Chain A
Amino acid sequence: MARLEAKSEVSGSVWKIEVTAGQSVAEGDVLILIESMKMEIPVVAEAAGTVASILVAESDPIVEGQTVAILDT
């Protein structure tokens, strides 16, 4: 089993967390929505797996490249 870091491609703040720890996700599923410049930018699962942990809370500020969740794949 591999650990996969889900990273935000943009700076902004956490708009909505769409999954919870322990939940199974498919490749492409939206994990977290980041709000930046009036746009909602999704952080998606790059592979199918299980959400090991969520590292942020709603409305937290986020910088580009920050890891926001960990997946077990």
Chain B
Amino acid sequence: MFNKVLVANRGAVAARVLRCLNDMNIASVAVYSDADAGAPYLALASETVRIGEGPAQRSYLDQDAILSAARTAGADGLHPGYGFLSENAGFAQKACEAGIGFIGPSPRWIEAMGHKARARELAEQGGLPVCRGSGVLDAGADLAHIARGIGFPIMVKPAGGGGGIGMLPVRNEAELAATVDKARSLAMRGFANGDIYLERLLERPRHIEFQVLGDRHGGLRHFFERDCSVQRRNQKIIEESPAPFLPRPMLAGLADRVATSLRMLGYDNIGTVEMLMGADGTFTFLEMNTRLQVEHGVTEEVYGIDLVAGQIRCAAGETLHAILPETIAGRGHAIEARICAEDPVKFFPSTGCLKTFRFPSGPGLRVETGYGEGRTVTPFYDSLLAKMIVHAPTRAAAIAGLIAALEDTAIEGVKTNIAAILRLLRSPSFQNGPFDTGLVADTIN
């Protein structure tokens, strides 16, 4: 097991990982930028190290500063959290070469799944369904011919991207060439990689993802699915487990198929396979995230497991057999809301000092945050203020519990999306289903 782990992140996920390390009696090192100096979660760490200024490029994305902090502190493990450097294969490789165990999959997996066109090929090799699409487009490719083979509408996507950024829809052949050029320049600017590819665009799909955990000895298990269809700007705001309004045997079969594929390919730590379900009910591979997911908490609540502890133990070389019970059974329903510093209509970001920042507490309610009253929300990082998770015996009870908890939440000093989340939770489409990724546009805009 690791003796000392550096947490290369901030906010809610840093708090979550530090708590876990304390539970496991592992010494911890928290790093912080000037903007996060004095943040409440830093008190959870055995030691803290300043790594730079507020902008992420000068702190949480500064690989040398983080690795140097780890070496100086004598850390033998590094947890990357999510975002920032968590899916940077070069960084993971450098950590390993410095003798610091990277708590995530082997760098070759981060690299392979980080290239979205390559990830599609791997998924296909593993026997997972992929939708019609192309490989990376060559400069001289016969676009019209390729597009006709896929069928419109088509999504033009950056191969080096992710998180829903830089994707452009194209609905007919006339728009194709110009859209491909624009996507290529966006991809160059956003990801310093102009590789793009085409994929059949599903209109208003459901977003269903499968959680897996693998060890370094060929073992891999799944923890069923989460439904993350409630999104704005292709980014999730409400997530739940199990996925509602779908037959359990079908979902369980798909989860088994995902686990079998990844086991066969040799995947070796925590990960999530994201899939889209079309209106006709067919599932296709979207992408794989080779890290802990923001919404891991809903799975933990339903299946009674600690995914972060499992991830750390697997990275330290323990077997899944030693970590998990023989059978994993779900209990009840969990829903998470991402409370963000955004206005509730346009979802524009909002900065300021948190004059009031109070949450209720009670059975079945879990709040994950990196902020506290009096702290300042800056423009440097994402807008997530807190994750609120409610676990209850039924979906209806979980929705009611989350509504009550959000109504009892008091945040002043920044605008928040709470009013929008409440509207979504109360909408008949969300409560009675079925719903898809069009729900936010239908309900809010």
Contacts and interface: CB of A to CB of B under 8 A. Distances in A.
A38 B164 CA distance: 12
A10 B382 contact: no
Contacts of B342: 37
Contacts of A39: 233, 348-349, 383
For chain B, what secondary structure do more than half of its interface residues adopt (helix, strand, loop), or is it mixed? loop
A10 B381 contact: no
A12 B379 CA distance: 5
B350 interface: yes
A11 B413 CA distance: 14
Contacts of B379: 10-13, 35-37
A53 to B, nearest CB: 24
Contacts of B349: 10-12, 36-37, 39, 41
B341 interface: yes
Interface string A26-40: 000000000111110
A60 interface: no
Contacts of B350: 10
Contact of B381 (A11, A13, A38, A64): A38
Nearest to B346: A9
Interface residues of B, number: 12
A64 B382 contact: no
A36 B380 CA distance: 7
A41 B382 contact: no
A11 B379 CA distance: 7
B351 A11 contact: yes
A42 to B, nearest CB: 10
Contacts of B383: 37-39
Nearest to A63: B351
Interface in B210-252: 233
A37 B342 CA distance: 10
Nearest to B233: A39
Contacts of B381: 37-38
Nearest to A12: B379
Nearest to B384: A37
Interface string A1-25: 0000000011111000000000000
Contacts of A9: 348
Contacts of B341: 37
Interface in B334-364: 341-342, 348-351
Contacts of A38: 381-383
A20 to B, nearest CB: 19
Interface string B310-335: 00000000000000000000000000
Contacts of A41: 348-349
Interface in B355-391: 379-383
B351 A36 contact: yes
A41 B342 CA distance: 12
A39 B349 CA distance: 8
B167 to A, nearest CB: 14
Nearest to A62: B379
B349 to A, nearest CB: 4
A13 B379 CA distance: 8
A36 B348 CA distance: 9
A55 B390 CA distance: 47
A6 to B, nearest CB: 16
A11 B349 CA distance: 8
Nearest to B350: A10
A64 B341 CA distance: 14
A46 B443 CA distance: 26
A36 B341 CA distance: 11
Nearest to A9: B348
A28 B383 CA distance: 26
Given A11-B379, A36-B351, 12 more contacts: A9-B348, A10-B348, A11-B351, A12-B351, A36-B349, A37-B341, A37-B351, A38-B382, A39-B348, A39-B383, A41-B348, A64-B351
7 contacts: A9-B348, A10-B348, A12-B351, A37-B382, A38-B382, A39-B233, A39-B383
Q: Sorted from nearest, which 3 A-B pairs have the closest CB atoms?
A: A37-B349, A12-B379, A36-B379
